[in-house]
Structure 1
Amino acid sequence: MRSCLGCVAVGFGLSLIGVGVGAQGFVQPDSFGWSRGDAHSTYAEWDDFASAVQPNAPDIGMFPVPLPAGWTPPTVQETTGTAFLTSTGNIYSFTTVLEFEVQVPAEPMVGGTTTVLLQTKTLGREIDPATIVCDGQGPVEVVELYRFNLGPDDIFGGDLVETLWRFEVPADGTMTITFESLDTSVSLDAVAVDTFSVPATCLADVNQNGTVEPADFSAWIAAFNTGSPLADQNQNGTVEPADFSAWIANFNAGCP
């Protein structure tokens, strides 16, 4: 999608300034422990929305294709009904604080955990970080991937911002993400979501070969270095140094 706060808003006589800057910062999930197309993963990406008020299907790509029977199709939708679509396929309003809902499928696993990586690109005003949740839970990690100043902070300016939001939620299947804009004059330009589900396992058996053994320590180090959910041995949703002590405790406790 060509980056533009709006171009011409027909009926309002308002021309917003385009900036010609593409998506600079969106990342692949490899640094989080999996790749797109891996088993137990899903992916969906949007860069050119077709409707300001109806659910939008991904236009860049998705996985798996076709979806397994019973899985919810991925969609992005503005839910106040007050936005309009710009000529470049952004969802925008200069009069209303917008509210968005993103639904994506994830592989369900009883007792398991799903890592959800949401990436957003906005122009003008920004997403209100206090409002963003996935299945009712806030992000465990937020990374600003890219920022470009568009000019003074009014309806013609603000910033182009690309952000990654990571969530750790129960692997129940469909993930529902909701968020609001900080103010009016936000333009949603692009969205990408990756998910990866891991089953409920013996936590100490990091290499998942069915045996708790010294080799699991090397597997834990590798998982820690990539930020994999398998390294989260204290199950608090964050991969951190304290997980090493937790892994030792889990190793000593063994597994049934």
Structure 2
Amino acid sequence: MLLDNFVRLIYSACGTIGVSSPGFIEKLRPYTDKEIHFIPQWTTQRLAMASKAVSGKRIFTFAGNIGSVQNLEMVVEAFGSLKNEEAELRLVGGGVFLERLQKLVQAKQYRNIVFTGRLPQEKMPEVFAQSDVMIISLKREFAMTLPAKFQAYIAAGKPIFGIITGDTAELIEQYELGMIALPEFESIRSGFQTLMQQSSRQLEVWGNNARNTSKRLFDRTNIVGIMSCLCGMEEYDHSIEHSPKYTV
């Protein structure tokens, strides 16, 4: 009770409140009746994308930290169980779970799962270019997290397979950026199977939606403009998209 009152006191001093993930809006609502706005981190760079080399395989890529919260053991198991030689899963990055996953792949003799280890930033445009679908995966308890890789993936114009619940899943669905699955084996397996069968045209549509969403929602100039308006520094420009779904 004492802590709740302290939190209410802090927010009572605020004119406007911004949050980096939509889920925090409802979490904060019991503590304040002030306006709460979803103000995401903006995309820090635009990647110059090379053309995808013809490999004959559908390439799924996870790029980032390989730890326990990413739920990658289940992702690897679900993908490997399909034994589809026309698809490949690439895990780009390092972390405490890397060796464990490598041993799992070796023990199960999965031949279509590749570990690249950590790569320098300048290699990432090539990684994205060679990928058909980018993967975001987090355990259920991180439902309010909007991972930074989400902005990177859509800025690159890539379809997303979101193995995640909550805010990120809602954005993928709302803006038609790809597919989502629950962080459970059967749901992940089914998602992979469906994506392996999707047409190249559908992937292109999702990729275009991703690129356009990045420009509308995660552009630095737009977000700084919204923040300036909310702080009363300039007149609000209604041409800037600020989804009413995430403003309370």
TM-score, normalised to structure 2, is 0.25
TM-score, normalised to structure 1, is 0.24
Larger relative strand fraction: 1
Larger relative helix fraction: 2
